[in-house]
Amino acid sequence: MIGWALRRMTQSLLVIVLMTLVVFIGLNAIGNPMDILVGEDLNQAERLQAIAHLGLDKPLWEQYLIFLKGVAHANLGQSFVYHEDAMRLILQRLPATFELAFCALFLAVVIGVPLGMFAGAYPDHPLSRLMMAASIVGFSLPAFWVALMMIMLFSIKLGWLPASGRGETREWLGVQWSWLTLDGLQHLLLPALNLALFKISLVLRLTRAGVREVLPQEFVKFARAKGLSPMRVMCMHVMRNTMIPLVTVLAMELGSTIAYAVVTESIFSWPGAGKLILDSINTLDRPVVVAYLMVVVVIFVVLNLIVDGLYYLLDPRVRIEASR
């Protein structure tokens, strides 16, 4: 176990270092950073002074080491626009993004699992066929366009739900949250549902496939033979055995949900890290872009580690392979 964990952690660290290299090369190879960082109306002496101040006179490998040191200390410089520490800016906005992403996954599970279990238990029912067809549309729909249509229908035509911002927030554990107030929940519903649409289709299909795989197995027949009610068999025996692959897929999907939140946040003016990064790309605020990329890479690598760990704990086959 320890050997396996150590090996996986070394791999993860390698990926992070590799990504710092990619980001660093991207920062330096394309365009002269001087043109972006320093105004053009400087004379030669001032230019050289600025170059020395920014450390751009050093050889490239030394600049990279300095950049790495910054990454390790979570210090990636000041935002050009907000004049604040770039890393702190990202970390301030991250809770809002996490709130949105977790709500989306929650909706996906709450809606997708029951529907998927129904579709798996009665594959020939007309409702099941309808759900499968709807899930294909769910995969095809461009999420950003659906978001606009949701705003048009629910916010403008019907006036049921607000279309922008986080609404009223309440502090918990030192961070402001929307889901603790009724107004905040109303603001949360549309963006979370939009972000969840694709995941609902995914969860529905995964659950359906899982149920169809588990239903013909011996232990289900045995549970039925014991005289348990069909409801109890479904909820206790079938569901548990379909949950294992679902949990690991959902853990992986959390990462992509955070990434796709960029689109949802920008449409619903949700003040999370995704909206910040988009604004920063448009204003060429490079320290913030770099800080965001590094934070997301770390989140991803950690998520991958957790998923692999889950597999290791849940699936004996992985353990056997790893111990070889």
Partner 1 sequence: MNAVQKVLTTRVCLQAQSPWRRVAVEFMNSPTAVVGLLVLLAIVLVAVLAPWIVVQNPYDLMQLNVLDARLAPGSANMDSGYTYWLGTDGQGRDLVSAILYGLRISLWVGIGSALIAALIGTLLGLVSAYAGGWVDALLMRLVDLLLSFPVILMALMILAWLGKGVGNVMLTLVLLEWAYYARTARGQALTESRREYVDAARGQGIGPWRIVVGHILPNCLPPLIVIGALQIARAITLEATLSFLGLGVPVTEPSLGLLIANGFQYMLSNEYWISLFPGLALLITIVAINLVGDRLRDVLNPRLQR
For the CB of residue 259, give the shortest distance to partner 1 in the complex, in Å. Answer: 4
Question: Residue 175 forms beta bridges with which residues?
Answer: 172
Residue placing its CB nearer to partner 1 in the complex, 21 or 236: 21
What are the two backbone dihedrals, phi and then psi, of residue 227, each rounded to the nearest 5 degrees?
95, 15
Residue placing its CB nearer to partner 1 in the complex, 23 or 113: 23
For the CB of residue 49, give the shortest distance to partner 1 in the complex, in Å. Answer: 27
Residue placing its CB nearer to partner 1 in the complex, 16 or 220: 16
DSSP label at 73? T
For the CB of residue 22, give the shortest distance to partner 1 in the complex, in Å. Answer: 8
For the CB of residue 256, give the shortest distance to partner 1 in the complex, in Å. Answer: 4
Q: Do the bridges between strand 170-172 and strand 175-177 make them parallel or antiparallel, or are there none, so unpaired?
A: antiparallel
Of the candidates 94, 257, 262, 271, the one whose C-alpha atom is nearest the C-alpha of residue 165 is 271
| Residue 57 tokens, joined | 């006179």
For the CB of residue 110, give the shortest distance to partner 1 in the complex, in Å. Answer: 23
Residue placing its CB nearer to partner 1 in the complex, 103 or 254: 254
- Residues in the chain, total: 324
- The residues near 319 (Cβ < 8 Å, ≥ 6 apart) are 312
Residue placing its CB nearer to partner 1 in the complex, 163 or 239: 163
Interacting residue ranges for partner 1, rule: CB under 8 A:
15, 18, 23, 26-27, 30-31, 136-137, 139-145, 148-149, 151-152, 156, 255-256, 259-260, 262-263, 266-267, 277-278, 281-282, 289, 293, 296-297, 300, 304
Sort residue 74 into left (φ over 0), alpha (ψ -120 to 50) or beta.
Answer: left
Residue placing its CB nearer to partner 1 in the complex, 237 or 275: 275
Say which residue the tokens 């301030």 belong to: 92
For the CB of residue 100, give the shortest distance to partner 1 in the complex, in Å. Answer: 15
- The residues near 175 (Cβ < 8 Å, ≥ 6 apart) are 95
